[in-house]
Amino acid sequence: MKTADPELMRAINRFHVMDAIRRFGPISRVEISDRTQLSATTVSAITAALLDDGLIITQQLGGIRDAARGRPRVMLELNPAAAHVVGVKLALDQITVATTNFRADVLSSLVLPIRLQRQSVSVIADLVEDGIRRCVADAGLAMEQISGVCVGLPGVVERMAGVCRASPIFGERDVPFAAEMTDRLGGVVATIDSDVNLVTLAEHWFGQARGLDDFLVISVELGLGLGIMHNGELFRGANGLSPDLGDLMVRPPAGNGSTRLASAASEASLVAEAREILAGEEHEHAFRLGRGLEKILELAEKGEPRILALLERAGGALGFAIANLITLFAPPKVIMAGAALEAGDALVGPIRRTVAELLPPSLADVSDIVVHHWQDDIWARGAAAMTLRDLYGAPWNTTGPVVHR
């Protein structure tokens, strides 16, 4: 915590006002005053400044005058045109880009189905740059109108430094991808973050965890992602790195070697193991085409016992890790997502059973585990939210390296 001066005081209260408008807008000044415990005078002063800066606007159409007497309330809301940002999600098999306004509404988006593996950093950066420029043009905007870009990618990302420590996307380690992109975009600042953190923020702002200050997000994609919201803040390890779920161990080194969760329950490991199990059978074709997961889901649907056993094992491993995470964080909600979870109860069932079995009695009922089917744009909306947060971010713990204005 920084030392306090009048400026910080104003920054804190301005944040609270902005937050109330974002979460509950359109909202009147009196209601902001109620919700934030700030005096009406202060709210008036702050909203006046925000209106002046163009960050918020008054809603012209009176809204619901529900038979109330007295002077009508003037409703305030975020000015969608106050800023525009671009969110990018890198996955092993595609790039997703979206342009959003200040309310994180998606104005335009595009998906580039490109295998990024084995591409050099600069080639990837080229692709991302092209995607951003096209997406911005699609939204009818010029690059000069973009206030920031955030790129989400799987792996270990150090947001502050703008460096990707390790990712399946890059062959190298310690790739300074934020600087790489900022250079190319000519004046527009780019930041990077772990992809799960983006979706965690998106869940917090618009998704199943609206207003929930503590929850976990677990994404089962090619790799495994873990996002932690704790006390309303994204949780990062001491070094600023977000923890990597795939690095968690699920089996002690008892003779036959230890197991990382990534090699027990990720989409990649599931496909690899299924391929081995089904080797030489008629299904092999699907795996060659890269349609391994679809095949797994199909066979699970049909009740193929070896696939069900595989999913049972994977679910057990995931459930083991989730139970330990619940033991540590005691979150009221755990949100899971990923294509592999579409296998109905074949994977989710074992997860739930294992968690229920392993949780200590005292924590038996604290966590609600839900599966969320993410739309393709949630990542980008999260990236947008991450950038927007910097524009009116909580002043008490500096969130990032962004140097807008």
The continuous run of DSSP H or E covering 91 comes out as none
* 399 touching DNA, by CB under 7 A: no
CA–CA gap between residue 49 and residue 191 (Å, rounded): 28
- Residue 342 interacts, among DNA, a second copy, none and using kind-specific CB cut-offs from 5 to 8 Å, with none
φ and ψ at residue 21, rounded to 5 degrees? -65, -40
Nearer to DNA, 65 or 118 (CB): 65
Instruction: Give the Cβ contact number of residue 144 at 10 Å.
Output: 9
- Residue 68 interacts, among a second copy, DNA, none and using kind-specific CB cut-offs from 5 to 8 Å, with DNA
Could you tell me the two tokens for 129? 């740059």
SS3 236: coil
φ and ψ at residue 270, rounded to 5 degrees? -60, -50
* 64 touching DNA, by CB under 7 A: no
Residues 144-173: x/- map of binding to a second copy (CB under 8 A)? ------------x--------xx------x
Nearer to DNA, 3 or 256 (CB): 3
* 2 touching DNA, by CB under 7 A: no
Q: How far is the CB of 10 from DNA (least distance, A)?
A: 4
Query: Which amino acid makes up residue 295?
Result: K
How many CA within 13 A on the CB side of residue 269?
19
User: Pick from 363, 370, 391, 399: which binds a second copy (CB under 8 A)?
Assistant: 363
Q: How far is the CB of 244 from a second copy (least distance, A)?
A: 7
* 310 touching a second copy, by CB under 8 A: no
Nearer to DNA, 5 or 365 (CB): 5
Query: 385, 201 in Cβ contact below 8 A?
Result: yes
CA–CA gap between residue 201 and residue 209 (Å, rounded): 9
Hey, what's the torsion of the CAs at 4, 8, 14, 18, to 10 degrees? -90
* 272 touching a second copy, by CB under 8 A: no
* 9 touching DNA, by CB under 7 A: yes
- Residue 250 interacts, among DNA, a second copy, none and using kind-specific CB cut-offs from 5 to 8 Å, with a second copy
DSSP annotation of 393 reads -
* 196 touching a second copy, by CB under 8 A: no
How many CA within 13 A on the CB side of residue 381?
19
* Residues from 318 through 357 that contact a second copy (CB under 8 A): 320, 323-324, 327-332, 354, 357
Question: Which residues fall within 8 angstroms of residue 389, CB to CB, at 6 or more apart?
Answer: 201, 399
Residues that bind a second copy (CB under 8 A): 1-6, 8-10, 12-13, 16, 36-38, 156, 165-166, 173, 213-214, 230-231, 237-239, 241, 243-244, 247-254, 258, 260, 316-317, 320, 323-324, 327-332, 354, 357-358, 360, 362-363, 366, 394, 396-397
